[in-house]
Structures are given as C-alpha cells and as structure tokens.
Structure 1
C-alpha cells in the first residue's frame, strides 16, 4: 500500500523494529566467485573510489559514472532503522561496489520524513559531496545510526564529531555548511521528491526507473538474487 503523506510515513515507521529484516521504514549472502562481469563484483575486490556528483535535477546524489547505462536509485532516510540494516547487512554494499566497478550508477534520494535529525544528516551528506567524501560519510552515519538514535538522533554537533573519522572531510567550508544548514533547499527538495514518488516506505529501490515491488524484498537482502535481477535488466538494454 502506498503511503502518500508524511504522517503516513511516520505512522508506518513507528511500527518498524530494528530486528526486522529490511522490512522498511514505511513510507546476505555474497555468492560471487569473480569474473569479467563488472556486475559480478566480489566483496574482496580492490576497486577505486566511485565518482560523486549532484545530478542536474538538484536532488539526486550519484555514485559512479552518471553516463553508466544501468541506473539504480535508492530512497532512504538517514534515521530509518531499516535503511541502516539494508546499508550495513543487506545488498547496499554490493551496489556500491558495482558503482565503483563501473557497472552502474547508484542514485540516492534522501528523504527526511523522520524528523530534524534526518534533515541535518541529509544536509551534511550534501556538503560531503563537495568534498568527494559522500560514500564514506554515508556508510559511517549508518554504522553509527543506532548509537546516535539512542542519544537523541543526529544533531549538527554529532555530525561534525563523526565527520572527524573521515579523512579529508572536515574543513571550514564543510563545517560551516553543517552548522548553518547551507543545503536546506536541497534537503527540502529531495524530501518533496520522495513524498511525491510512488514509494511506500524506505528503503526503496528503483532499477532503471522501475520501482522494486514490496513482494521482492529479497533484493534488499540477498546479493545473488539482486545480481541476477540486475543482469537481466542490463541484458534488456543491449
């Protein structure tokens, strides 16, 4: 069922527990053995960092080559426990490796329907793009999300404190962007994109513009099934 209002997201999010298997804030295995297929990228692969950029729409953060033929969009809220599970235990790390291998472009729409902390985090992540540190900072915030949530959520000071752990991220421009919420227009616009989308909750995934339906939740947790799904999508474009 689609949730078309911010209240709907919040009510559904409240029903999610961190122990749910990427069940979603409403709105494991790695079977790779290595090959020449850029989509079949193992967790041990030594890959260069992915290019980071802001798309022309002004609301999408892109990892990887913006010209890559295969596009995977992730809809997330940085305060969503199910998003943290997807990013730390699900198939998100595989998608980031695939973006680094050149197999796809990974697009992020960052919602902030779970409160001020989500807005502060989305603003800080937008600032991290300017330092080419989005991917590392994004990973760190999700790893620390549970601890931060217990302490009251993301704040500007907590976000700056965590940023110290990412080499090359802290600096006068980044610090000012976080403290002054420089990218508030980006935050509000991205949240509006999520609100107006057909997404019923986070995390959500769209492959080449086609939203993954709720009954395919295994694509958020099983690397081998997501690989096969992406491979099929890539063949359809040939």
Structure 2
C-alpha cells in the first residue's frame, strides 16, 4: 500500500487524561467497569499477569497473542511507523487488549503493514523474530515508546532495532541478531503487508472483533476502555 495522507492523534495532551481520540495513518486505498466478578475481560491494565503465549497463525501473516483457540478474537492492523498506532498502543486501548489476552479473555491478532516505508519493514521483521523468543509483546511496546524519537532520527533501521532490543531481557542473541541484520523474515513482512492491503482496513490503527471491522466513526472504541469492554462482552455473547 502507498500512503497518500496521514492523520495524527486527534486531541490534545490534556484530553488524554480523560478520553483521547485516536486518529489514523491512512493507506493508499482511500477498564469495563472495575467491578468484582469472574469476567476475564474485566481486567485492569496494571494487573500483574503472566506473559501470554505468542505464535504465528497458520496463514503465515498473523501474529497471535494469547490462546489461539479462544473464541473471541481482536485483530489490530498497524504500521510500526504510524504515530496514531503509537498513541493507540501507549495511551489508547492497546494495553487493555494485551492484558485481556494475557488473562485468557481473547486472542489478540496483529497484522503488521509496512506501507510507511523501509523502517516499517525492518520493524515488522524484527517483531516477527521476537515471536520466536516469546518477546513480541515487550518489544512491540518498546518500539512504540521510542517511535517518535526514531522517526525524528530518520526511522527504524536494523542497528536501531538491535540497540532497542537490548532493553528487552533475553531477546538479544545470535539468532535474533542474525534475523534482524539479514532480514530473515522478509517473506513474512511482504505477505503481512499484502494481507493488510487486501483487507477492509483503510488505515491504521484499525480493529476487527471476531472478523467484524470496527468502523472509523467509532473511534471511542479505540481509546475508551469501558466502551470497548462492553463491545467485547456483546461480541463474546454472540460467539
């Protein structure tokens, strides 16, 4: 996919404290309530949970966090160089979804596009390599935390990706380093980008719940935890 326009995060820094609004990086095609109970979807972003299983789906393009057999699935379409994706993953509902996956409430699926340039391809390749070490979740968050600084420096490069990987305990090593330096997973990168290009997603970030795309005019589901929680409860009940 080619990029024609970009929209950044909609809203001011002050608005983030209450309820931010995630924008989108457009491609070329144009807490539920913190109550008591046993609902695994009702999980705090700060809950201390064990790491979730990380795997590559049979389609060869989807990275799955959590139980791949879970009946409730949330697919997220992202590009690691997209500023709006960083807002979603750091200040929006990205952290909640990861916690829900760690709490066995859902399987969290990622389709990583790379329509924003070579840096996105290098980052997607490195993240695919991290899956082999069950370090995708930590590395994914880390890359978004450093995205703005990296963009100002010219984007993700192999060397920058390796330098950041040092911050994830247990990730760096001969196998991971070689995968990053040699772009070992280039076929995955291209296939994932094509999967995004052929999907209904018109920009990033975009979510799909059990295959149903969350429309772009429902941006509140991207940053309001309670709204997304209720949406997921309804989807789970229908599954």
Whether TM exceeds 0.5 here: the answer is: yes
Q: 1:105 to 1:134 in 2, by over 3 A?
A: same
SS of the residue corresponding to residue 5 of structure 2 reads: helix
Output the TM-score relative to the length of structure 2.
0.92
Give the structure with the larger helix fraction: 1
TM superposition shift of 1:94: 0.3
* 1:32 and 1:224 in contact (8 A); partners too: no
1:196 matches 2:212: no
TM superposition shift of 1:165: 0.2
Q: Which runs of structure 1 show a deviation greater than 4 angstroms over 4 or more consecutive aligned residues?
A: none
Q: 2:221 aligns with which of 203, 206, 219?
A: 219
* 1:33 and 1:42 in contact (8 A); partners too: no
SS of the residue corresponding to residue 233 of structure 1 reads: helix
TM superposition shift of 1:236: 1.0
1:175 matches 2:177: yes
1:138 matches 2:140: yes
Output the TM-score relative to the length of structure 1.
0.93
TM superposition shift of 1:46: 1.8
TM superposition shift of 1:122: 0.1
* 1:73 and 1:106 in contact (8 A); partners too: yes
What is aligned with 1:11?
4
What is aligned with 1:25?
25
Deviation per CA, 1:76-116: give whole Å up to 9, x if none. Answer: 00000000000000001000000000000000000000000
Using the alignment, how far apart are the partners of 1:212 and 1:18 within structure 2? 17
What is aligned with 1:66?
68
TM superposition shift of 1:32: 2.2
Structure 2, gaps ≥5 residues long: 12-20
Using the alignment, how far apart are the partners of 2:40 and 2:71 within structure 1? 13
Structure 1, gaps ≥5 residues long: 1-5
What is aligned with 2:86?
84
Using the alignment, how far apart are the partners of 1:54 and 1:165 within structure 2? 23
Using the alignment, how far apart are the partners of 1:58 and 1:218 within structure 2? 31
1:231 matches 2:224: no
What is aligned with 1:97?
99
Using the alignment, how far apart are the partners of 2:232 and 2:160 within structure 1? 37
- Aligned pair count reads 227
SS of the residue corresponding to residue 107 of structure 1 reads: strand
RMSD of aligned residue pairs (Cα, Å): 1.2
TM superposition shift of 1:118: 0.1
* 1:72 and 1:206 in contact (8 A); partners too: yes
SS of the residue corresponding to residue 234 of structure 1 reads: helix
Using the alignment, how far apart are the partners of 2:132 and 2:36 within structure 1? 33
* 2:45 and 2:96 in contact (8 A); partners too: yes
SS of the residue corresponding to residue 44 of structure 2 reads: coil
* 1:218 and 1:225 in contact (8 A); partners too: yes
